[in-house]
């Protein structure tokens, strides 16, 4: 199961690196929930795509050339449902780490591979804020 979840996140981070919003949308089931410190965002496909495309702009401004996701833990919760602990690193063109963080996801496999349906974004929000470029800013 961990290998399947790792394959999901390898494809997911590759989609971010190539700025493929269609592939990112396809990796989720909707409505989806993104929970962060002090906020929660329930997304349909259109809102999720807009948020992903805004992230692409942030990543470009910060010099992100590649993204790496490493699954550090998988906890089965129910048949076909897992909690994934995933560590991200945003990389510059020379491979140096720009920033990194941990995100927790709920994933479900309905027979066609895992799809995310919820994420806790506290680590990502904190990582970008520590760089002085909070999510949602123009920096």
Segment 89-120, tens digit of pLDDT: 999 999 999 999 999 999 999 898 999 999 99
Is residue 136 in some structural domain? Answer: no
pLDDT at 39: 87
For range 46-62, the mean pLDDT: 93
Question: Which comes out higher in pLDDT, residue 133 or 47?
Answer: 47
Is residue 137 in some structural domain? Answer: no
Is residue 72 in some structural domain? Answer: yes
Kindly give the interhelix angle for 45-62 and 2-17, rounded to the nearest 10 degrees.
70
Is residue 97 in some structural domain? Answer: yes
82-90, long-range: CB within 8 Å, 24+ apart, which pairs?
Answer: 82/1, 82/5, 82/106, 82/107, 82/114, 83/107, 84/5, 84/9, 86/9, 88/13, 88/124, 90/59, 90/62, 90/64, 90/66
Is residue 138 in some structural domain? Answer: no
Domain of 118: which CATH number?
A: 3.10.450.50
Is residue 94 in some structural domain? Answer: yes
pLDDT at 38: 84
Confidence of residue 2 (pLDDT cuts 50, 70, 90): confident
Domains in the chain, number: 1
Is residue 21 in some structural domain? Answer: yes
pLDDT at 118: 98
Is residue 45 in some structural domain? Answer: yes
The C-alpha angle 31, 32, 35, rounded to 5 degrees, equals: 140
Domain that holds residue 33: 2-130
Tens digit of pLDDT for each residue in 26-43?
999 999 999 998 889 999
């Amino acid at each position: 199961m961990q290998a399947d979840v790792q394959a999901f996140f390898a494809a997911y981070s590759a989609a971010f690196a190539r700025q493929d919003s269609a592939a990112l949308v396809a990796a989720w089931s909707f409505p989806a929930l993104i929970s962060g410190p002090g906020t929660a965002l329930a997304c349909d496909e259109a809102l999720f795509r807009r948020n992903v495309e805004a992230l692409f702009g942030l990543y470009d401004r910060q010099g992100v050339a590649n993204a790496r996701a490493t699954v550090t833990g998988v906890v089965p919760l129910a048949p076909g449902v897992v909690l994934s602990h995933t560590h991200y690193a945003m990389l510059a063109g020379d491979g140096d780490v720009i920033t990194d963080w941990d995100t927790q996801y709920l994933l479900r496999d309905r027979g066609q591979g895992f799809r995310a349906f919820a994420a806790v974004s506290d680590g990502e929000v904190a990582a970008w804020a520590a760089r002085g470029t909070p999510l949602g800013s123009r920096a």
